Structure 1
């Protein structure tokens, strides 16, 4: 399966836009409180269903949902929302569609989710973030499996990789079963950070957390392995679950002055072996449009072959 993350540009650009990332600033949260959070959450789950239905209608069965689905969820339990009953119904409707259609939905908390930080407060916030993402998946009734993953980076070394890996593993062990069974960890895009073999040896073998192979990131942390070799190392950490991978192309291929880590607006191709053995999240600026364009090209080449 091919997927795309978060924003559907086609639906967002309509006169009546659909989006599931309605949120607010801290000042607004403090002044308007849970009733406003509840209203936004209700709208977000309603629009998530419509986005998933659009995806299904267009043959897209892999989607990464925004981490703003329930705004400010670090501050309250889901059941405290005034519209909780309606929200639960809307969430289960999304989950039923996902389950019945054989779709895959994942989350990817942002850089602030640092389970391996050397700050206890930062780790506590990261654990809370993983837990509430797991609560959303539970609310949708989806299996507690990395198939519905909550993907994170270690994202730093804090001057001591062994100690950092140890803190990450300890934080994973602190998670509730529903959160722990869904966590995945991704290789980084800076040479001194975390590669696929390092994550496999220092995290996956100690905790069972699967490694998400990011194709573009591997160019920064290859450690002498080819793309396919690194993918196979990561894929072995998934057990019976089909691996999820990320694929993007560097923006500097078309704009040489941009950062080497930046993603291009589209992708020209995806290696056949990657599509054959994993579900591929396409990380490109044009989102679902990039997916549809590259899929059309792959279909043409398959038919020609």
Structure 2
């Protein structure tokens, strides 16, 4: 299995906290409401300007990640890369030959740079992108949104084969009411490219890890350690847990990817950073479960970081902390001592 990697999600936080640097390195968006107030030419110009900026921004993000140590060459791209891509009012804009050429050229170059430097890429549509729901319109919209992400991945050069170079598009399971069979039906509605890129993670409300295990034969499972801790009211899953073997098998030879985060610092201000947070104790102290779900700024708990180091034997990690690359770099420094093979 390939060497471990970890990385940050979507947004780059400059060390200088300089606003101009932040704008240059990060994507932006435009609302459909704003575009609707413009004449068609002005609306197209606005979309084209935002898309051009966003393509340059993700190019810079990938260049930044490519220059980091090998352990940190993993990155989740922002979903707002191409605003309004699935919206009827914007369809004609994205059919424009000049805009399509710009998108295809820039994404192809960015994807090639990622592959040359061993940067693993992913995307994660919002929680409203579901392929399993009792609401047929929600599924139709969810499938369209997912196919947009698949288009981006295809233009990046990840449109052929099973999760090429570890690339993937991750979603939550959707509505628990439709069960695992509802997810299977949703998978059948996706294009082949989309089915070859999709992964599903456990969450705190609908599909916990144990609920997803029956789907391991059709879709790779993403283990979210924080969601699992919340859903199970305090369980920390270890690498020797038999469920890990099921997750591994679901990826069919591709190195798995997992998520990690910690509850917010102010909630656990007096907590020993060398001890794993005790869910039951925190609830008895008056903290509400919904508050524990929030992500911290940094990976402040060293015991959780040690757990990540143990899991890096078999999986990569996306760090879902609010300070993005600052948090992932801190975690990388911590786990490097446990990983002599990391570069």
TM-score, scaled to structure 2: 0.79
Could you report, residue by residue, the CA deviation over 1:128-175 in whole angstroms, capped at 9, with x for unpaired residues? 011010001111112543321110012432xx3xx3322221111111
**Is the aligned partner of 1:93 residue 2:109?**
yes
1:139 to 130, 133, 155: 155
Q: Contact conserved, 1:34 with 1:81, CA < 8 A, in 2?
A: no
Provide the secondary structure at the position in 2 that maps to 1:64. strand
Aligned pair 1:266/2:289, yes or no?
A: no
Report the equivalent of 1:185: 200
Q: CA RMSD in A?
A: 2.4
Shift of 1:195: 1.7
Q: Which residue of 2 aligns with 1:117?
A: 133
* Structure 1 residue 129 corresponds to structure 2 residue 145: yes
Q: Quickly say closer, same or farther: Cα 1:180–1:302, change in 2 above 3 A.
A: closer
Are the aligned partners of 1:195 and 1:223 in contact in 2 as well (CA < 8 Å)? no
Shift in Å, 1:114: 1.8
Q: Measure, in 2, the Cα distance between the counterparts of 1:238 and 1:281.
A: 16
Higher relative contact order (CA 8 A, sep 6+): 2
Aligned-partner SS, 2:259? strand
2:78–2:123: 8 Å Cα contact kept in structure 1?
Answer: yes
User: In structure 2, how many angstroms separate the alpha carbons of the residues matched to 1:180 and 1:283?
Assistant: 24
Aligned length, in residue pairs: 294
Of 278-287 and 80-89, deviating more is 80-89
- Whether the aligned pair in 2 keeps the contact of 1:155 and 1:188 (CA below 8 Å) is no
Shift in CA distance, 223/200, structure 1 to aligned 2, threshold 3 Å:
farther
Residue of structure 2 aligned with 1:156, choices 165, 171, 175: 175
Q: Does 1:29 align with 2:35?
A: yes
Alpha carbons 1:250, 1:261 under 8 Å: kept: yes
Contact 1:213 1:246 in 2 (8 A): yes
Between 132-141 and 266-275, the greater mean CA deviation after superposition: 266-275
Structure 2 gap ranges (5+): 271-281
CA distance in 2, matches of 1:82, 1:41: 12
| 8 Å contact from structure 2 (residues 6, 319) kept in 1 | yes
Secondary structure of the residue aligned to 1:4 is: strand
Q: 1:9 aligns with which of 8, 13, 16?
A: 13
Q: Structure 1's 5 and 88: CA in aligned 2 closer, same or farther, altered over 3 A?
A: same
Greater mean alpha carbon deviation, residues 44-53 or residues 140-149:
140-149
Matched, 1:279 2:294: no
Matched-pair contact (CA < 8 Å) for 1:99–1:142: no
1:165 is matched with: 180
